Amino acid sequence: MARVLVTEKIAQRGLDQLAEAGHEVDVREGLSPEELIATLPGAQALIIRSATQVTAEALAAAGDLIVVGRAGIGLDNVDIEAATARGVMVVNAPQSNILSAAEQAMALMLAQARNIPQAHSALVAGKWERSKWEGVELHGKTLGIVGLGRIGALVAQRALAFGMRLIAYDPYVSADRARHMNVELRSLEELVGEADFVTIHAVKTPETVGLIGRDLLAKAKPGLRLINAGRGGIVDEAALAEAIRDGAVQGAGIDVFAKEPTTDSPLFALESVVVSPHLGASTAEAQDKAGVTIAEQVLLALAGDFVPYAVNVAATDVSETVRPFMPLAEQLGRFFGCLHDGLPDHLGIEYQGQLAGTGTGILTLSALKGLFASSTEEPVSYVNAPQLAEQRGLEIRETSTITSHDYKNLIVLRSDSHSVAGTLTGAGVRVEPRVVMVDDHTVEVPPSKHMLVVRNDDRPGMIGVVGVVLGDAGISISSMAVGPSRDTGSALMVLTCDRPVPDESLAQLRADDGIFDLHLVNL
């Protein structure tokens, strides 16, 4: 059971999921930075939204922390570099509010085009001002989309329904993909010079902060209206206010700000600007999805499983070819660790067959996770496994080859003294893992919680010796594979047992002059 500290409001369904899994859910809303630091010790998970600042200082106080979960998309308030340095996984819920955010952008665009908030305020103040608040249609206008990711693509779909022409700036999107979305790609300068409306959906990075600034706005098409329901800080608010006052930009619809919360901005005094207090994700549906999603991700992280939405794991883009091999790679890592008395100097990982060239980085992380889990009591995750390797001087050598003589796919782990290989057999729902080589002996045995690897003299009766010792201890052998050596006159037995082999039995086996080496493997 873990303690999950929740510092901001998330959907009750998410809290219920965590509690039903047996974890202690500690809800402490409205903590000051000092109170957060005092409350974090003893928490294995921290769930936040946008207000809680997870600083390097806070992370330093959270010695037991495994995962930080952001119930939403943006992670501006989390020091990801400091979290990674401490082996803390950072996860978010990137799909939870994309529909709501796209609809907010469209709402601001319509409000800006038709001056709806201004006309409302005038009317409830007793002013009937039809001519003053004349607007423009979206139909036939050119929409420039900055950032054609998930939300930008949804905005594009909706804008097409209004009959808008679409152009976009996104250096990471191919012309073919954009063309498939009925979008023409432009440079950023071309986009602002051609568009009637511009909507911002870029990721906030050091490179994109202030991306829409004074120099760029000076190149804007006369009458441009700017919408930002993405991330605060990408638009220079002072420069935008100046461009609107000077008439270079017609108006703006702004939902996000460089500093939040904020009640003071040069944009607030401008009649042609529509603002809202970061409402992009503020729908009942988005909040429910965010709470449930982040609870699911935190549960996976606490269980040591692969977390799809981890943002500081080196390999998160997992293909359907690779994904089924992740548990096998971790099991092989554990098996490999149990064969060694200590950590080897290096770990060679070879991917053979169809796996070669398919993004096997996550399999290497899985193998490392298994290797270190076999030798340490501290939690090992996809985040801190590479750090453990670096700290302990483990050299990792990864190779791939499309050639695999006996199997469609094969994962081989090797050091100077030991080796193990595995594959998946069967098809559909009957896919099963198999260990098919140990220390260059060909075997075939399913991985099991309790296993025994015995290298012995290749002479009659040795299988019986092992069987008698285990039988006397009341241990059933679930499966066994024997692999003779062509060169050394020795053989290898790999056994799966129904329970752990006691120390007395291991000592008895080691005392037999026909047994050269013995390893207990616990998966």
pLDDT in tens, the chain (523 residues): 899 999 999 999 999 999 999 999 999 999 999 999 999 999 999 999 988 999 999 999 998 999 999 998 878 899 998 998 888 999 999 888 899 999 999 999 999 999 999 999 999 999 999 999 999 999 999 999 999 988 999 999 999 999 999 999 998 888 888 999 999 999 999 999 999 999 999 988 888 999 999 999 999 999 999 999 999 999 999 999 999 999 999 999 999 999 988 999 999 999 999 999 999 989 999 999 999 999 999 999 998 887 888 888 765 567 778 888 999 999 999 999 999 988 888 899 999 988 887 788 889 999 998 998 877 666 677 887 887 888 788 899 999 888 777 888 999 999 999 999 999 998 766 889 999 999 999 999 999 999 999 999 988 899 999 999 999 999 999 999 998 777 777 899 999 999 999 999 999 999 999 999 999 998 8
The distance from CA 98 to its chain's CA centroid, rounded to whole angstroms, is: 17
Q: Which residue among 231, 334, 418, 434 is the active-site one?
A: 231
Residues 49 and 69 in one domain: yes
Contact of 50 with 277, CB cutoff 8 Å:
no
- Residue found by looking up tokens 């699911």 in the block: 296
Residues 221 and 354 in one domain: no
Residues 258 and 335 in one domain: no
Q: Which residue among 190, 260, 398, 444 is the active-site one?
A: 260
Q: Can you give the residue range of the structural domain that contains 182? A: 98-275
- pTM equals 0.63
Residues 110 and 65 in one domain: no
In a domain, 309, yes or no: no
Catalytic site includes residue 177? no
Sign, Cα dihedral of 273, 278, 281, 284: negative
Q: Which residue among 49, 278, 334, 434 is the active-site one?
A: 278
In a domain, 307, yes or no: no
Region of 84 (left: φ > 0; alpha: ψ -120 to 50; beta: rest) is alpha
CATH number at residue 75: 3.40.50.720
Contact of 274 with 111, CB cutoff 8 Å:
yes
CA distances from 136 to 7, 109, 187, 193, 246 (A): 44, 11, 26, 19, 20
In a domain, 310, yes or no: no
Residues 334 and 455 in one domain: yes
Contact of 481 with 493, CB cutoff 8 Å:
yes
Residues 40 and 106 in one domain: no
Catalytic site includes residue 8? no
Contact of 330 with 371, CB cutoff 8 Å:
no
Residues 270 and 129 in one domain: yes
Residues 256 and 376 in one domain: no
Residues 271 and 338 in one domain: no
In a domain, 331, yes or no: yes
Residues 254 and 382 in one domain: no
Q: How far is 89 from 307, CA to CA, in rounded Å?
A: 9
Q: How many domains does the chain have?
A: 3
Residues 295 and 219 in one domain: no
Residues 251 and 364 in one domain: no
What is the C-alpha end-to-end distance of the chain, expressed in Å? 21
Catalytic site includes residue 278? yes
